[in-house]
Every structure is written in C-alpha cells, then in structure tokens.
Amino acid sequence: MERFRDRVAVITGAGSGIGRALALACAGRGCKVVLADVEAQPLADAEAAVKAFDIETLAVKTDVGNAESMAALADATIARFGAIHILCNNAGVGGGGLIKNQQLVDWKWVIDVNLWGVIHGLQYFLPHLLKADEAHVVSTASVAGLYSLPGLGPYNATKYGVVAIMETLYFEMAEDASSNVDVSVLCPGLVNTNIASAQRNRPEHLRRVRAPSSRDKDRPAAGDASKRNAAIAAALEAGKDPAEVAELVLEAIAERRFWVLSHPEHLEDIRGRNDTLHALANPDPPRVIF
C-alpha cells in the first residue's frame, strides 16, 4: 500500500491486545479507523484512545462468528466512509485442553470465532476491497498455524485453516490482473494480551457441559488445569508488546509482504516440522511451547 492517510481500515477484535494496537497504529498513520469487537466497554475505550489521533472513527459491536453481524459491519463501514482499504481479520479466542477431553462446544466456539470470523470477513469485505484503488487484507493466525502445539487442538486447527485460506487468497489475488488487493498473514508467538481470559467472551450456549462423573478420571484435575492456565498467563505476560507486533503488520502492508512472523525464534521449529515431513519421519513436538 502506497499511502495510509485517509484510507479506511477495519479491525476486528479491536477492543484489546493486538487488535487495539493495530487500531492505534492505523490511526497513527492517519487512517480512518473502524473498530469492531464483541465486548462493548473495551471497544468504547479503544475508540476513545484512537480518537486522540484526531482521525475519524466508527465503533461497531460485532460478533465475527455471526454472518449477519459481519455483514452489518461491512454495511455500516460503507454507509459511513464509502470505501474499505484495509481489513484486519484479527479477533480470536484460545481454549486449551487435550483433544481427548474436548467437548463439541469447545471445538465449535473456537472454530466459530477464529475460522468463521475470517471467512465472514472475506465474504463481506472482499467485494469492497476489490473496488478500491489499492487494498490490503491481513488475517491473524499464529505460529500454531505453522506447527501444532500439544494441548491446543481446536486452536491449531483454526490457525492452520487461516494460514491456508490466506495463502490461497494470496495466489488468487496475484493471478488476478484486475485485483489491487494485497494479502498477508500474521503468525505471532506469545504476545502480552488478554487472550488467557478469552473465556470471558464465550457465549452461554457454547459453555462446557459438566462431564458425567464416570468420565472425570480422563480429565485433568482442577488443580492441574489451573496451574497450566497460570503458566500460560505468565508466559503471555512475558510476551511481546502488541504495539511492536502492530508495527510489523503495518510495515508488511506498506511493503506488500505476505508472511508476518513477530517471533523469528520460531523459524527453527517451523523448519524442523518441514524437515520431518520432507523425510516422511514421524513429527517431533515443537521446542517452543506455550
């Protein structure tokens, strides 16, 4: 993208973490910023922070997993600004646990937000991006979309899916002579955000049902689970500043780069996975785990 000033940037999950930082970074470059999030108060707070850059903003309470809600976000953006140049499909949730202990509602919630959120973004925003003189779409995946982290089955599945969708879109846009849409995928390692408390946004109808006591022996003891959660929260706290990650994304948009990896230390694990695949050897667990 040649210039950012007065471009219209839409960011999902803009109420917190990486999305909030992306909104601030876009505002800092003079974009008009549309903030979307399912949580009303953090969304309002983020909008107030973005307004300090003296740019035009629009905040829309949005559930990315819901098709009507995402269609309404696109409509509201067009009604207000008339065009869309940048889409950051960023909203996401993480839920941990071994695959043998997952319930269908665990899979459904994570897939609804992380995978359908991106699909809805492309469905309703791509037609507008294609009309712009230049445009860019970036979706937030994870290093968990490049190698599989034990204990994060549903999350890994969605993030591999996001990488696959964005890679496919990159090829398709590159082949389409009439397209001015550039494509990136963000694959962060640990970033200091609120993702450890993602359950705060879990809809009531997708909450876990208590397993019958006969199966409780297969589940981790509550103490183990809370220790694990505390360890994840501590690791996230020591993670990268979201503002640094947002700057990398904006640089990639300016330079039309596809891959945005905020943590180069993960390249070794990515190469390791590819090497075992190339050798048709059984996979090794990654060296760096959440």
Ligand X SMILES: NC(=O)c1ccc[n+]([C@@H]2O[C@H](COP(=O)([O-])OP(=O)(O)OC[C@H]3O[C@@H](n4cnc5c(N)ncnc54)[C@H](O)[C@@H]3O)[C@@H](O)[C@H]2O)c1
Catalytic residue set:
155
**Residue 77 interacting with ligand X (CB under 6 A):** no
d(CA 19, CA 90): 6
Q: Which residues pair with 36 in a beta bridge?
A: 12, 60
57 — phi, psi (to 5°)?
Answer: -135, 160
**Residue 137 interacting with ligand X (CB under 6 A):** no
- What does the per-residue mask of binding to ligand X show for 154-193, with x meaning CB under 6 A? ----------------------------------x-xx-x
- Find the shortest distance in angstroms from Cβ 148 to ligand X: 14
- For residue 53, count other CB atoms closer than 10 A to its CB: 16
**Residue 57 interacting with ligand X (CB under 6 A):** no
- Find the shortest distance in angstroms from Cβ 115 to ligand X: 10
- Find the shortest distance in angstroms from Cβ 287 to ligand X: 17
CB 272 within 8 A of CB 278: no
- Find the shortest distance in angstroms from Cβ 111 to ligand X: 11
**Residue 65 interacting with ligand X (CB under 6 A):** yes
Buried-state track 217-234, b at ≥16 Cβ within 10 A, e below 16: eeeeeeeeeeeeeeebee
Q: Residues 22, 31, 38, 84: which binds ligand X (CB under 6 A)? A: 38
Q: Which two tokens stand for residue 203?
A: 């809809």
Which stretch, 12-20, 52-60, 177-185, 218-226, contacts ligand X (CB under 6 A)? 12-20
d(CA 99, CA 83): 43
Which stretch, 34-42, 79-87, 119-127, 215-223, contacts ligand X (CB under 6 A)? 34-42
Q: Residues 16, 77, 148, 156: which binds ligand X (CB under 6 A)? A: 16
Q: Which two tokens stand for residue 89?
A: 């499909």
List Cα–Cα distances, 208 to 2, 156, 199, in angstroms.
47, 19, 11
d(CA 102, CA 220): 11
Q: Which two tokens stand for residue 149?
A: 């982290």
Which stretch, 9-17, 97-105, 171-179, 248-256, contacts ligand X (CB under 6 A)? 9-17
**Residue 95 interacting with ligand X (CB under 6 A):** no
**Residue 24 interacting with ligand X (CB under 6 A):** no
104 versus 279: smaller Cβ distance to ligand X: 104
- For residue 84, count other CB atoms closer than 10 A to its CB: 26
11 versus 129: smaller Cβ distance to ligand X: 11
58 versus 93: smaller Cβ distance to ligand X: 93
CB 92 within 8 A of CB 140: yes
Q: Which residues pair with 86 in a beta bridge?
A: 9, 136
| Binding positions for ligand X, rule: CB under 6 A | 12-13, 15-19, 37-39, 42, 62-65, 90-94, 113, 140, 142, 188, 190-191, 193-195, 198, 201, 236, 239
